[in-house]
Chain A
Amino acid sequence: MRTRFSLLDTPSPNLQLEANLDNAIAHYFQKRALTLAEIPEYQDLVQRARKIRLDTLNGLPSHLKRFRGVLEGAGVRVIEAKSAEEARRAVFDIAKRHDVKRAVKSKSMLSEEVCLNEFLEESGIEVVETDLGELIVQLAKEKPSHILTPCIHKSQREIAELFSRVFQRDVPDEESAIAELARVFLREKFFSADMGITGVNFGVAETGTLAFVENEGNLRYCALLPRVHVALMGIERIAPDMESLGTLLTVLTLAGTGQRAGAYTTLLSPPEFGRKAPEQDRFFYLILVDNGRSGLLSDPKRRETLACIRCGACLNACVVYRHIGGHAYQAPYMGPIGAILMPGIHPKGTERLGFFSTLCGACREICPVGIDIPGQLLAVREQFFHHAARSPAKGVRYLAFLLASHIGRHPRVVSLARRLVRPMLAIPYIEHVLGWGKARDLPVPASRSFQERFWGDHTDAA
């Protein structure tokens, strides 16, 4: 089971990937522009949403206390998970208690963050992803490459080939045929599952209400049909009251998909979330996941990162993301938000994500809650250098650069070094052994230096 994240373990991005991303993201911007053109007050909404999120984070402990109080007062089972391990264990314990054999799951980045699927599968529980994009990446044994569009890196032809292979039938290269096959396959799963696992978009402190937004209807199936519903919610996803919820729901879909509302918005409130009543053998559990969020919250410089509402808009705006795709981040959250969130909640192996940015500021412009993502990226980099300065490797790197700077001053030594290095790079896979070339082509030094070629050409001409 993979519970650590490392960067650049995947092959280099390719032209097909870039074409797929460009196509999908161009469509997003077109739709978003059309919708926002009719909403002149959008920037006011963004400012209002920003204030709600920042104020909520500043008083998060008291909002959480109120939220839990309302839920527990209504007899709802709330489980606190301080770590990913605790979250996984909590879901497993619930599954075991209710003799769960099959779970259907809607898209939840938090479940990716805590590596839930792998854990449950290894424990003998079948987990079926039910969002079409998530199902596609699950069948391909891949990870999502976008927060909202998990299979954004795949072309329709690739998906049709995947379905043909998995379902052992000839699936035409048509989006409707692919979707129909998924619908039939998943419908049987929905009606036979023992447990539904969902994320939560927002929890309302005032009423204990949980809000869910989606477009397909699969989340609603997961929440309502199985006899057990487990909802995973990050502790920061609190809206203080219903009025705030309205604002956040509005900006979420406008920014995320350019829609005024998702096709399905579901609000479940206590005590009988989705009409789950133990006396009818129907159960609801809420798992509140911290997993490093308290650390971010306690850092005034980095707290703003937690204001994110997971719309995914910053990914679409990011020139780096559009070039390399989501898998290159090797983290559950990718793009600009991944680059500031992951080093905050899961620093090990993600410290360098802060450098996956040109700091152009497009992410800040598009963020529906106005997070200063470039500012947060700089804070991540600052932390990286702060830690690196205390690293034993720092001295070695310093010596290496010192040596390189001395060599660079002596052309004859450079020439000698070049001749020594060239044959080494001819060894197959040497670049992979060196590590640097896992995600890039390691250029082979030219056989003749610029000066040798320049003077040689001049001599030939003469």
Chain B
Amino acid sequence: MTTQTLLEQFLKQAERLDVAVFPHGPTPALKEWLDKIRTATGFQEAWVDPAMENSPPFLEEALSESGFQSAFPLEPREIDSSPNVALGVARADFGLAYSGSLAFIKTNPLVTLVPAGLLVVLDAKKILPAYKELFLELTSPLPAILSLVTGPSQTSDIEKKLIKGVHGPKWVAILLHG
């Protein structure tokens, strides 16, 4: 499967999961998405994963422009019992074309779980077909945590009605580059 085919499949699944995809750069659409989260949550705090090496400068500017205050996630025991975090920012190690999943190996999983919104930086060349290829990429010893995020946190427990943002992020977006 070519990179282009994988990318197309990935984008198709992301759209179905209601995951916004923005090009890697300062765009009005990104600003609009960030503003939406700031307004909807009323919170300022954004957790930027410390494992996210070389955070693009435009992203820091965009966060600042939308009124976010960046912070690093703390140890779980030091986090407030009901942290009001608007946004998590992390870099995905891989994407999966089959399901639109984002795979995180080094990222602190709380960054992708606690905030109301999640913004993920993904390299288009790191999109793999499915689980099999992802597992082949893992080297021994396997990571203590491999976390896959496939769209917003959700449940259909009440009369099968889809509710987003039950415990994890309600909004997920991808900054795609490469």
Contacts and interface: CB of A to CB of B under 8 A. Distances in A.
Interface stretch (A270-278, A306-314, A443-451): A270-278
A19 B144 CA distance: 45
A337 B23 CA distance: 47
A190 B149 CA distance: 20
B50 interface: no
B146 A183 contact: no
A261 B148 contact: yes
Interface of B: 13, 76-77, 79-83, 96, 98-101, 109-110, 113, 130-132, 134-135, 138, 140-161, 163, 165-168
Chain A interface secondary structure, helix, strand, loop or mixed?
A: helix
Given A183-B167, A191-B82, A245 B131 contact: yes
A55 interface: no
Contact of A136 (B82, B153, B157): B157
24 contacts: A23-B159, A27-B156, A130-B167, A133-B155, A151-B157, A156-B158, A156-B161, A176-B163, A217-B167, A225-B110, A245-B135, A250-B130, A261-B96, A261-B98, A262-B150, A263-B150, A263-B153, A264-B148, A265-B147, A267-B145, A268-B144, A269-B144, A273-B144, A275-B145
A217 B110 CA distance: 10
A191 B147 CA distance: 20
Given A224-B145, A264-B147, 19 more contacts: A27-B160, A131-B155, A132-B155, A133-B157, A149-B157, A156-B158, A191-B81, A216-B155, A216-B167, A243-B135, A245-B131, A246-B132, A249-B131, A250-B131, A261-B100, A263-B151, A263-B168, A266-B146, A268-B144
5 tightest Cβ-Cβ pairs between the two chains A and B: A217-B168, A246-B131, A133-B157, A269-B142, A27-B160
Interface in A228-244: 242-243
Contact of A217 (B82, B113, B140): B113
A20 B166 contact: no
Contact of A191 (B80, B98, B148, B154): B80
